[in-house]
Chains A and B, each alone.
Chain A
Amino acid sequence: MNITILFFGMLAEETRTSVLELNTASLKLRDLENEVLNLFPVLKKLTYGIAVNEIIVQSNVKLSPGSKVAFLPPFAGG
């Protein structure tokens, strides 16, 4: 299925990527995350959180076709 991967801030800079359409066999978030880490090993040394469809998730949620998975660096608002 197709998943949209998004990178922001420092992560977009380090991966030189802001959006990536990924055709993946991963059905769950952790598998997809590992796939992304293999594509962009630089992420392994960076701090990030993940939002699926604009909601921060900690658990290994199930993905659906068209899910948007965003890798977010530490927040700096305010």
Chain B
Amino acid sequence: MKKSLYAGAISPQKIADSIAHHQVKTNIGAHDIFLGQVRADEIAEKKVVAIDYSCYEEMAEKVFHEIREAAFEKFDLTCLHIYHSIGIVKAGELCLFVFTSSRHRKMAMDACRFIVEEIKLKAPVFGKEVFEDMTHQWKVNS
């Protein structure tokens, strides 16, 4: 099973490398990419400096796998990659990388949206928002 959980922030270099790896796959005509970034929210005058992600690992990998399978079933995709950070990701850094590739744009774009929404809804990933003074609160998806 392909692993989706990724230790720490996802570097822009990783994304660039991933795009480069697809240049040999010349049946692809369209990519879509979603990047989730940690926001420095201000809550009760305290600023979020990082999110410390944790998860139910065995279940999370299973859920990511099922989302992949569902996406391949539903959309005509050539390629699909999902990476979600675990551990500390600082504000401004990337925590989610979804990369869909297809012959044509519509499939790549629709699949990308579907996958991101499914992850938000189904992946047992938990986020501790850490403030400047090192206190924290638990994030809930809206």
Contact = CB atoms under 8 A, between A and B. Distances in A.
A70 interface: yes
Interface residues of B, number: 27
A10 B59 contact: no
A6 B139 CA distance: 20
Nearest to A12: B54
Given A9-B54, A70-B56, A70-B59, A77 B141 contact: yes
Nearest to A70: B56
A67 to B, nearest CB: 14
Nearest to B61: A54
Interface string A43-57: 000000001001100
Given A10-B138, A78-B36, A72 B56 contact: yes
B131 to A, nearest CB: 15
Nearest to A47: B140
- Pick the most buried of A10, A54, A78: most chain B CB atoms within 10 A of its CB: A78
Contacts of B55: 8, 77
Nearest to A10: B138
B58 interface: yes
A72 B123 CA distance: 11
A76 B96 contact: no
